[in-house]
Amino acid sequence: MPSLMMNADMGESFGPWVMGLDEQVMPWIDLANVACGFHASDPHVMRRTVRLAVQHQVRLGAHPAYPDLVGFGRRSMACSPAEVEDLMLYQMGALAGICAAEGTRLHYVKPHGALYNDMARDPALFEAVARAVKAFDPSLPLMTMAARDTSMEQGIADKVGVPLWYEAFADRAYDKDGRLVSRREPGAVHHDPKTIIDQAVRIARGEPLTASDGSELVLTAQALCVHGDNEESIAAVRAIREALQALDAPA
């Protein structure tokens, strides 16, 4: 296993509407976060994405979200912890069934969008997500955001009995607490390939990033999220893969 596993959100097309360049991204990543139908995707897209991942020996993760197709899962919803637990189970089960049909299985769970952000701020939601993962398969790691302080997440995961993978982002700006800067703010998303590659390498080496307030920020992560929806981002993903392989190569 590489020191920093590259993951990308996959299978986010819906019917005739195509999103992302999955076939170009898949060969370069370790983990595929597959949309489960609530924020994007449909059964045909899910099965096609699973087959593509199997072809490239990429491990599959469920990418469950709030039930928000119109908002692409990026809007917070007034779901109770019990509702969140149930919608997580529903989506994991759907993708697991398709995985079984294709001779593979789920390897981890990474909530999507607003649910991912909300659970990092709300201990009750985080515990609901962790309970769902534990009930479904206690061996599955739950992927959550690396931050300056992750004691809340780790404490709940230890109590529930779920392993965690902490995740950092190559193309997103961070605030002083190590949380993602809102997409509504200018500069929240990095577009320059050099900046993205430099941030990825810094995270892999455990070197400090510069937060939005100018302070230094060190993130401890096992996974690195990358995005590939245009030719420039695909080139950046390839460059990140090459840079991480160079770091992992024996001296």
Helix 113-121 vs helix 123-136: crossing angle, to nearest 10: 120
| Lowest-pLDDT range of 7-16, 89-98, 197-206, 233-242 | 233-242
Kindly state the average pLDDT of the residues 129-149: 97
Distance between CA atoms of residues 202 and 217, nearest Å: 11
pTM of the model: 0.94
pLDDT digits (tens, 9 = 90+) for 155-180: 999 999 999 999 999 999 999 999 99
pLDDT digits (tens, 9 = 90+) for 68-110: 999 999 999 999 999 999 999 999 999 999 999 999 999 999 9
Alpha carbon distances (Å) from 183 to 120, 122, 137? 17, 20, 33
- CATH: 2.40.50.100, 3.40.50.1820, 3.30.565.10, 3.20.20.370. Which one for 5-248? 3.20.20.370
Domain residue limits, the chain = 5-248
Confidence tier at 2 by pLDDT (50, 70, 90): low
pLDDT digits (tens, 9 = 90+) for 187-224: 898 888 889 999 999 999 999 999 999 999 999 999 99
